[in-house]
Structure 1
């Protein structure tokens, strides 16, 4: 089992969209996948459960009664541990939401109230070296919960959608992972953000390393806190008629990997050793660039309307976005099929790196 996140403190880089599609790609390949919505904005939950919410809205309009939304929220699961009512999360009480379209794919849904737990986890990080066991239990609660939950459903991959922040919640979930991708958009500010991202990750790993031996000696289920870097995902760019990135994007697409080599790679080397080489996957593929994902254009509307992956639409589905209400036909449908095939291939590249991570770390 591999736990992975797509992390960048810079917003607007399509973390949620890519996590959603990657989960579907892995499930389509026959793997059992769990998606966890750890972003208080709950965009992954909204995207995943679109048909469910539509049905519940119709029920409410018909009955006037607010229907119960299926599934346990992340906050509800964590509350007993945050309050101190229990030493760990009871995973048997967690109800996951199955995908309305894809077998082998489930969601641990988000909660807009999750941000209320920010102060609790911030205090757990501040008090991580103290003798107060409540904060030690809280410090390890997320990683312990995620791993036990994944094992209980025999998951092959767990993908965690985190918020675009450097706060305690995001930090907690990031340190719970075995691996991570860095999604970026090819522009000036995303390129600059690689520097501050590297500082953030350096700080998190350094402070986690300082206490890991103490926690292990106490028998606490602490994570390794050194996720493998699986590469960058350059996305949200426009392409020309020839299929290349437009000129305004190409310059930044070249500068981003240079910045990663200058800023992030030295940090990851610092926390690598004979047991865990954080750049092993990128080195094996010979590139820190995992894949490129151009703008999804009009088809992204279908993804949001139907809660289907960007590569999973039928010809009948396209009637939703057709100007005349009819399905795509002829060259228009052929072009859509070509683009869907290219996107599926791109997600296959990410899938290959996750498989390599599983080889490197062993099947935990």
Structure 2
């Protein structure tokens, strides 16, 4: 029987600081705890996902070899040299579930991003492969026996070539948002840009088929589906979301509804929006982790597992027990992350 294909999820918002990296890592770990195999691709030149999961020293060792770094660069370099895809290295985090693997990022991704020409590569149909390299990467891992249920892609906060490449390779788009006006504004930008990205892809595929005798190789790509948003970093008092955060939640929810309406209106070639039950595209909420997040990054431990470790007291490395309030917050974050993972399993099929 043919194995089930991995589902590709781009985690993206044009706004920085919305928790793309931490949500990608933590949700992947929760999915793995539920028996799923997850491949993380750090497609952000800042490489924060790689550093968080692997640790700074381990990450430095992967990028230190300029001839053959064990990062995403080793696979992508050949696309720029016309030699084809190169070797793939995947890595484990010391405290992340062993069913989560990562293709480490590389600052060199800035070079790859600059090489992705919409005019010369995409619209002419001559460089489609460069824009879908992530799919090729997963396919080659599958050939080698590394089979995944999900591929989650962490992206930079921009509308550049890396984001286009990930979206063209993805089945789903999930948008993290924080409690501020800029999140609402950036969703409106996505509503403007995504239909243009899709139109460019479709034009490029027409040219590609003209030059390649109608090849169906890319027919199922270039069709990212907006699948929902995550509210991240809000505050609570007396078990209730603060009034200001409630107001932002409502406004951002409405912005995502308008995004869905815009996609349905302007994208006619496929279902660009996931069907939902109810009126909200929100797929989960994770409240402000405060000191938990600092410890998570220092210890390279997903937030839901921090109660298995002592917290870092200061930068000298001294450690101490968590307070009761902190342990309650860890438990609450764990439940919130698990709820998002359950939603993904149930609805992103």
Q: Tell me whether the two structures share a fold, i.e. TM-score over 0.5.
A: yes
**2:130 aligned to which of 110, 128, 138:** 138
Map of 1:296 onto structure 2: 289
1:115 counterpart = 2:115: no
Please give the residue correspondences for 1:165-176 in structure 2 after superposition, counting only pairs within 5 Å: 165-176=158-169
1:149 counterpart = 2:141: yes
1:32 counterpart = 2:37: yes
Q: For 1:112, what is the secondary structure of its paired residue?
A: coil
Map of 2:23 onto structure 1: 18
Q: Deviations over 1:215-238 (max 9, x none)?
A: 462354465222222211111222
Map of 2:7 onto structure 1: 2
Q: Unaligned stretches of 5+ in structure 1?
A: 58-65, 360-364
Map of 1:61 onto structure 2: none
Deviation for aligned residue 1:56: 6.3
Contact 2:37 2:147 in 1 (8 A): yes
Deviation for aligned residue 1:243: 2.3
Contact 1:186 1:249 in 2 (8 A): yes
Map of 1:96 onto structure 2: 90
Q: For 1:218, what is the secondary structure of its paired residue?
A: coil
Per mean C-alpha deviation after superposition, the further-off stretch among 341-350 and 179-188 is: 341-350
CA gap 1:228/1:142 in 2 versus in 1, 3 angstroms? same
Contact 2:50 2:59 in 1 (8 A): no
Compute the RMSD of aligned alpha carbons.
Answer: 3.0
Contact 1:302 1:321 in 2 (8 A): no
**2:250 aligned to which of 241, 248, 254:** 254
1:218 counterpart = 2:208: no
Map of 2:273 onto structure 1: 279
CA gap 1:76/1:322 in 2 versus in 1, 3 angstroms? closer
Question: More helix per residue: 1 or 2?
Answer: 1
1: CA distance between counterparts of 2:294 and 2:343?
A: 28
Map of 1:63 onto structure 2: none
**2:156 aligned to which of 145, 151, 163:** 163
**1:80 aligned to which of 78, 81, 88:** 78
1: CA distance between counterparts of 2:230 and 2:222?
A: 22
1: CA distance between counterparts of 2:9 and 2:134?
A: 14
CA gap 1:167/1:12 in 2 versus in 1, 3 angstroms? same
Q: Deviations over 1:264-318 (max 9, x none)?
A: 4331454366xx534335x146520111111111111210111111110235423
Deviation for aligned residue 1:28: 1.3
**1:352 aligned to which of 321, 342, 345:** 342
CA gap 1:269/1:148 in 2 versus in 1, 3 angstroms? farther
Q: For 1:166, what is the secondary structure of its paired residue?
A: coil
Q: For 1:146, what is the secondary structure of its paired residue?
A: helix
Give the count of matched residue pairs: 337
Deviation for aligned residue 1:262: 2.1
Deviation for aligned residue 1:159: 0.7
For normalisation by structure 2, the TM-score amounts to 0.85
Map of 1:60 onto structure 2: none
Per mean C-alpha deviation after superposition, the further-off stretch among 72-81 and 142-151 is: 142-151
For normalisation by structure 1, the TM-score amounts to 0.82
2: CA distance between counterparts of 1:353 and 1:147?
A: 26
**1:128 aligned to which of 108, 122, 126:** 122
1:243 counterpart = 2:239: yes
Deviation for aligned residue 1:358: 4.5
Deviation for aligned residue 1:214: 5.1
Q: Unaligned stretches of 5+ in structure 2?
A: 1-5
Deviation for aligned residue 1:328: 2.7
